[in-house]
Amino acid sequence: MNKNETIIMKSKPLIKESVENLKNRCSALKQEGIIPTMKVILVGDNPASLLYTRNKKKFIENLGAECEIIKLPSDLKEDDFLDHVADIVSDPSVHGCFVQLPLPKHLAHINVGELIPPYKDVDGFNKFNVMNLYQGEKGEGALIPCTPKGIVTICNYYGIEIENKNITIVGRSLIVGKPLSLLLTNHNATVSLCHSKTQNLKDHTKQADIIIMAIGSAKFLTRDYLSDSKSQAIIDVGMNQDAEGKLCGDTDFHNIKDHVSAITPVPGGIGPMTILSLAQNLLQAAEKSL
Ligand code: GUN
């Protein structure tokens, strides 16, 4: 490959390698009489959530583990929702569980991480798992949130160093931006956590070695946010629709790809990494149950 050619950080080759490892771990557990089992709680008919949960189930079943999607009606009463979740998480044959977000409006105030015991919380949303990140990952057996974990995994795979780097994250969500800022800090990066109210955003993106886009705004990051060095790496967490209804990220991929050293595509970049992390967390949880 030409030395100056941009690396397109596809998740596929990494996932192919990781799947072999996960299948082996799954077989080893089965020999001990444990079938790694995930339950997914899905409330309502949000089409994107239906698609994401089906993709997660397919990936997990391909490893030889079990995954059931429990579909609940969108008009479910809060007490009934809480009862369902309590029943599912108390089942000793379930090693991992999560509630697909977003929840319908009348349930959206519920902090789902707190409904799931920390050692089954494969999303990493429970206080115990959040505190683990906060305290520098000292919690034995703690689970790391999936998208942040997937970002570190893909950076390692493509040789994008994190330690001692300046990393600008754009987006402060509870699922990605905030936990990611802690995880990268634990890996000795210097992190700028930017958001919709950040003044002079371009100053933050231009000085970064790595820019991580997680704001949910189609093709937001254009060439004028970049330095002239062509040495920056871009991680795109966005899953948006462009004007033609096609899936696109938070970066204007074709506008910037020749002006950076490496970039994750959408689709085929961080989306599958989130699913890989979920499967890794399930196996970690099942192994811990031994
Ligand atoms: N909806 C979008 N991303 C996620 C995620 O990582 N976990 C859950 N539970 N719901 C989501």
In the chain, the number of structural domains is 2
**Where would I find the H helices in the chain?**
12-31, 47-62, 78-89, 127-134, 146-157, 177-186, 201-206, 253-256, 270-288
The number of the ligand 1 atom at minimal distance from the alpha carbon of 99 is 9
Residue 233 near residue 213 (C-beta atoms within 8 A): no
- Residue 190 pairs with which residues in a beta bridge? 166
Nearest-CA residue for ligand 1 atom 3 is: 101
Q: Are residues 219 and 150 in the same domain?
A: yes
What confidence tier does 150 reach under pLDDT thresholds 50, 70, 90?
A: very high
- Residue 263 pairs with which residues in a beta bridge? 8, 234
Q: Are residues 251 and 155 in the same domain?
A: yes
Portion of the chain with pLDDT greater than 70, in percent: 99
Residue 189 near residue 154 (C-beta atoms within 8 A): no
Q: Does 4 score more than 90 pLDDT? A: no
Q: Does 91 score more than 80 pLDDT? A: yes
Asked, for residue 281, whether it belongs to a domain, the answer is no
pLDDT of residue 138: 85
Q: Are residues 111 and 162 in the same domain?
A: no
> Which of the two residues, 154 and 2, has the higher pLDDT score?
154
pLDDT of residue 2: 55
| Amino acid, res. 243 | A
Q: Output the average pLDDT for the chain.
A: 97
pLDDT of residue 3: 59
pLDDT in tens, 6-48: 999 999 999 999 999 999 999 999 999 999 999 999 999 999 9
Q: Are residues 57 and 158 in the same domain?
A: no
Asked, for residue 113, whether it belongs to a domain, the answer is yes
Q: Are residues 40 and 83 in the same domain?
A: yes
- Which is it for the CA torsion 202, 204, 209, 215, positive or negative? negative
CATH at residue 265: 3.40.50.720
Q: Are residues 158 and 113 in the same domain?
A: no
pLDDT of residue 141: 86
Pocket test residue of 50, 69, 89, 100 for ligand 1, highest count of atoms within 8 A of CB = 100
Q: Are residues 107 and 149 in the same domain?
A: no
pLDDT of residue 139: 79
Asked, for residue 128, whether it belongs to a domain, the answer is no
Q: Are residues 100 and 161 in the same domain?
A: no
pLDDT (average), residues 251-271? 98
pLDDT (average), residues 150-179? 98
* Rounded distance between C-alpha atoms, residue 8 and residue 61, angstroms: 28
CATH at residue 78: 3.40.50.10860
Domain that holds residue 254: 145-271
Question: How far are the Cα atoms of 58, 60, 114, 124, 188 from residue 143, in angstroms, in the given order?
Answer: 22, 17, 14, 5, 19
Domain final residue pick, 118, 135, 167? 118
pLDDT (average), residues 80-106? 98
Q: Are residues 86 and 174 in the same domain?
A: no
How much is the pTM? 0.97
Taking the alpha carbons at both ends of the chain, their separation in whole angstroms is 46
* Ligand 1 pocket, residues with Cβ under 6 angstroms: 98-101, 123, 146-147, 175, 274
- Residue 71 pairs with which residues in a beta bridge? 42
pLDDT of residue 76: 98
* Rounded distance between C-alpha atoms, residue 54 and residue 3, angstroms: 39
- State in Å: Cα 187 to ligand 1 middle: 23
- State in Å: Cα 100 to ligand 1 middle: 5
Q: Are residues 149 and 265 in the same domain?
A: yes
* Rounded distance between C-alpha atoms, residue 185 and residue 181, angstroms: 6
pLDDT of residue 38: 98
Asked, for residue 16, whether it belongs to a domain, the answer is no
